[in-house]
Amino acid sequence: DSGVTQTPKHLITATGQRVTLRCSPRSGDLSVYWYQQSLDQGLQFLIQYYNGEERAKGNILERFSAQQFPDLHSELNLSSLELGDSALYFCASSVGANSPLHFGNGTRLTVT
């Protein structure tokens, strides 16, 4: 158990809808990262938050947004969903500099 909690585990929704993925980092970890894993794109970094502030942005679509709350949990919002957004979405956390990322079990999103 990595200590990172992601909910829900599975999500099935229709095109055009909006969903929210939730992540609770490990106790003491200030950084939260979101990754998307798909068969054709591999593991793609989306966005990083550190202590509530956006720290780095990767290949995140404009239809996607995220935030980190004062209690350090984070949410990833995906809107106007398309079939191609179907993927495994991971949240990870780290304590800080030069430390490994610990991943949650992921949310498997299926857009129909």
Binding site for other proteins (CB under 8 A): 2, 30-31, 33, 42-43, 45, 48, 50-51, 55-56, 58, 88, 90, 92, 94-106, 108
Residue where the block lists tokens 């430390």: 99
Q: Which of 14/70 has CB closer to other proteins?
A: 70
Q: Give the C-alpha separation, 82 to 84, whole Å.
A: 5
Q: Give the C-alpha separation, 106 to 4, whole Å.
A: 10
| SS3 at position 83 | helix
In the bound complex, what is the minimum distance in angstroms from residue 4's beta carbon to other proteins? Answer: 10
Q: Which of 91/111 has CB closer to other proteins?
A: 91
